[in-house]
Structure 1
Amino acid sequence: MLTAAELTLPADSAAVSERATVLGVYQLPVGPEQGDKVPSERFEGQINRRTWRVEGSGTVLQILAPLREQLVEQGYEVRLDCAARDCGGFGFRFGIEVVPAPDMMVDISRYHFLSAVRGQEAVSVLVSRAGEAAFVQVISAGPRDAAAEVQKPFVQSETGPARPVDLSKVLEVRGHAVLTDLVFESGSTRLRDGEYDSLRELAVFLDANPQYRLLLVGHTDTVGSQAQNAGISERRAQSVKDRLIEAHTADEGRIDVAGAGYLAPIASNLIPEGREANRRVEAVLLAD
């Protein structure tokens, strides 16, 4: 039975998120972006996506290099090893699968990517800095009979409780943040009833920072026309605004809405997982 890589992360790292697909397809990037496309190799099986936040001042290469060495020692063959510009910069970043912010933060000018293969297993590592911290994303794909090993492919050198990413810090560092906990009614633009931490944090942020306004932007996948999706995405953004006002007494005059439709994907629309990631609402920070 194939087993997944077990790597040691820096001692000052903390787990942020974990997403698993029992049976799916992962397109492993194996070359720099060329002509708006990223060359890839298909791997089918169980897919695991994990992210960590790493405190400290280490560069992206200082974080990635030990992980690369461990992969090579375990028999993995490196397929791609590149830094931001050499990978293709903006085009590469938006041509590969990346866990949505705030779970994974990527600075277009400060990231390093590595992909490696061992038999029927694939692993990709993405490291980037954002403000005072660095973020690590690991996507592993392999046969389902290796599921027990793939579930937790990385071991921290010192364990500790996972620390959630502060939404206000994401807004201030990147200027925008995906509201990852929102759930809409099936086939509807109405936000499902319930408490959402992201909306509570947005309301607190607005109240504490009167110099800012927010633009809520809805996004969709590519199913349907752009005109239809623009309308759907704007109505979803409006639903989020309405909930902010009703449940958290946010200042209506400081919140605008817009619908981008499918014009700004953060993942491939060719796979179900990518389409799901693209259906989202983002908060964009504006000066008052």
Structure 2
Amino acid sequence: MILRATVICLAMAGPAWAQSLQFPSNATLTREDVVALDSYAVPTDIWADGELPLQVVEGQVTRQAWRIAAPSLTTLQILRPLREQLRNDRFRVIFECQTEACGGFDFRFSIATFPPPEMRINIGDFRFLASERQGSEGMEYLTLFVSRTAQAGFVEITYVAPAALETAPIADAAATPLRALGSIPDAALADQLDTVGHSILADLAFDTGSAQLGAGPFVSLQALADYLADFPDRRIALVGHTDSSGSLEANIALSKRRAGSVLERLVAVHGVPRRQLEAQGMGYLSPIASNLTQEGREANRRVEVIVTSTR
């Protein structure tokens, strides 16, 4: 959405500012809250040393949540046109950051946002922008919190204007539809779960004999978390598999621990409710490649996800 600000000089009514961020036509306004006079703490820097720098501003506070119905969008693809619109309308960007550079988990949960389903924040992929503009009636402030799931993009706008300022709607959806620039693998996981009921989390990394999941981040886990957030009544089983090194009993135990490690990562890092998950292990009983080669053994060390219930 492009933010256009025009000064209309009216001799009798005084100055009025018309703002309109142009969202793509496949965007939907899912929630709007307007408070005639309130304060808002604008983040002005990253989370560091246990605190988030804030600037408290006052005025009419408008908050909106938008959902862009397109799979596999990137947060930059969503934010860039909005940022350019702000700059074209004389807003000055005072702070901008992305995910871990913002402060990660601590930054995200220091800012109040609308809850799901109106607004979804992917803690592994979000961007934040704060801007200001000197208007005829005083300072105006606008912030954007941008995130995404495998199925859609999400934007929360907070706009603070002088209480005396007459404003038009801050955003509408009339621009060209926004689509992903190219195919991104995370969309395929949801398709596989919906069509065949299972999928391999192919980007996970385990060493031989180890149940410790690598540091990541793993695209497949975020895609799975997004899928479960979109379908909160569905349950899945995480099923671990090993290569054929060692005894069957030891490998069944190892494969279950690997699945459990993935389960704990989904809960702790991605916020998936534990009730939607279970972990099981098959050992080396269900190979997908030959255990006679290094490549085959690596392929067999895997975790699959299986949809076990849709209610």
For the criterion TM > 0.5, the same-fold answer is yes
In the alignment, what sits opposite 2:91? 76
Do 1:5 and 1:71's aligned partners in 2 also have CA atoms closer than 8 Å?
Answer: no
Q: Deviations over 1:167-187 (max 9, x none)?
A: xxxx9637569xxxxxxxxxx
In the alignment, what sits opposite 2:184? none
- 2:142 is aligned with 1:123: yes
- 2:156 is aligned with 1:103: no
SS state at 1:95 partner: coil
Do 1:125 and 1:139's aligned partners in 2 also have CA atoms closer than 8 Å?
Answer: yes
| Among 31, 54, 61, the residue aligned to 2:45 | 31
Do 1:115 and 1:122's aligned partners in 2 also have CA atoms closer than 8 Å?
Answer: yes
Q: How is 1:253-268 mapped onto 2 (pairs within 5 angstroms)?
A: none
Q: Report the residue type matching 1:286 in the other structure.
A: Q
Based on CA coordinates, which of the two structures has the bigger radius of gyration? 2
Do 1:33 and 1:91's aligned partners in 2 also have CA atoms closer than 8 Å?
Answer: yes
Q: Structure 1 CA distance, aligned partners of 2:69 and 2:160?
A: 27
From the superposition, tell whether residues 211 and 74 of structure 1 become closer, same or farther in structure 2 (CA, over 3 Å). closer
In the alignment, what sits opposite 2:297? none
Q: Structure 1 CA distance, aligned partners of 2:122 and 2:93?
A: 23
| Among 170, 174, 177, the residue aligned to 1:153 | 170
In the alignment, what sits opposite 2:276? 286
Do 1:38 and 1:96's aligned partners in 2 also have CA atoms closer than 8 Å?
Answer: no
1:37: how far off?
Answer: 1.6
Question: For the aligned residues, what is the CA RMSD?
Answer: 3.1
Q: Report the residue type matching 1:33 in the other structure.
A: W
Q: Structure 1 CA distance, aligned partners of 2:60 and 2:18?
A: 11
Q: Deviations over 1:145-185 (max 9, x none)?
A: 22533xx201212599xxxxxxxxxx9637569xxxxxxxx
Do 1:46 and 1:147's aligned partners in 2 also have CA atoms closer than 8 Å?
Answer: no
Q: Structure 2 CA distance, aligned partners of 1:6 and 1:83?
A: 25
1:108: how far off?
Answer: 0.9
Tell me the TM-score normalized by structure 1: 0.56
Q: Report the residue type matching 1:156 in the other structure.
A: A
Q: Deviations over 1:123-162 (max 9, x none)?
A: 001110122111011010111122533xx201212599xx
Q: Report the residue type matching 1:11 in the other structure.
A: S
Q: Structure 2 CA distance, aligned partners of 1:6 and 1:147?
A: 13
Do 2:235 and 2:277's aligned partners in 1 also have CA atoms closer than 8 Å?
Answer: no
Higher helix share: 1
Q: Structure 2 CA distance, aligned partners of 1:59 and 1:141?
A: 27
From the superposition, tell whether residues 158 and 108 of structure 1 become closer, same or farther in structure 2 (CA, over 3 Å). same
From the superposition, tell whether residues 157 and 37 of structure 1 become closer, same or farther in structure 2 (CA, over 3 Å). same
Q: How is 1:85-234 mapped onto 2 (pairs within 5 angstroms)?
A: 85-119=100-134, 120-149=139-168, 152-157=169-174, 173=226, 205=233, 209=234
1:36: how far off?
Answer: 2.5
Q: Structure 2 CA distance, aligned partners of 1:99 and 1:284?
A: 23
Q: Report the residue type matching 1:146 in the other structure.
A: L
1:80: how far off?
Answer: 0.7
In the alignment, what sits opposite 1:13? 27
Do 1:10 and 1:63's aligned partners in 2 also have CA atoms closer than 8 Å?
Answer: no
Q: Structure 2 CA distance, aligned partners of 1:158 and 1:78?
A: 23
Q: Structure 1 CA distance, aligned partners of 2:25 and 2:58?
A: 32
From the superposition, tell whether residues 28 and 174 of structure 1 become closer, same or farther in structure 2 (CA, over 3 Å). farther
SS state at 2:90 partner: coil
Q: Structure 1 CA distance, aligned partners of 2:275 and 2:35?
A: 33
Q: Report the residue type matching 2:92 in the other structure.
A: E
* Residue-pair matches, total: 181
In the alignment, what sits opposite 1:236? none
Q: Structure 2 CA distance, aligned partners of 1:174 and 1:29?
A: 30
Do 1:4 and 1:146's aligned partners in 2 also have CA atoms closer than 8 Å?
Answer: no
Q: Structure 2 CA distance, aligned partners of 1:50 and 1:112?
A: 16
1:113: how far off?
Answer: 0.8
1:5: how far off?
Answer: 3.5
Do 1:4 and 1:121's aligned partners in 2 also have CA atoms closer than 8 Å?
Answer: no
| Among 49, 53, 60, the residue aligned to 1:46 | 60
Q: Report the residue type matching 1:142 in the other structure.
A: A
Q: Structure 2 CA distance, aligned partners of 1:155 and 1:51?
A: 12
From the superposition, tell whether residues 24 and 284 of structure 1 become closer, same or farther in structure 2 (CA, over 3 Å). farther
Q: Structure 1 CA distance, aligned partners of 2:165 and 2:118?
A: 25
Q: Structure 2 CA distance, aligned partners of 1:26 and 1:51?
A: 16
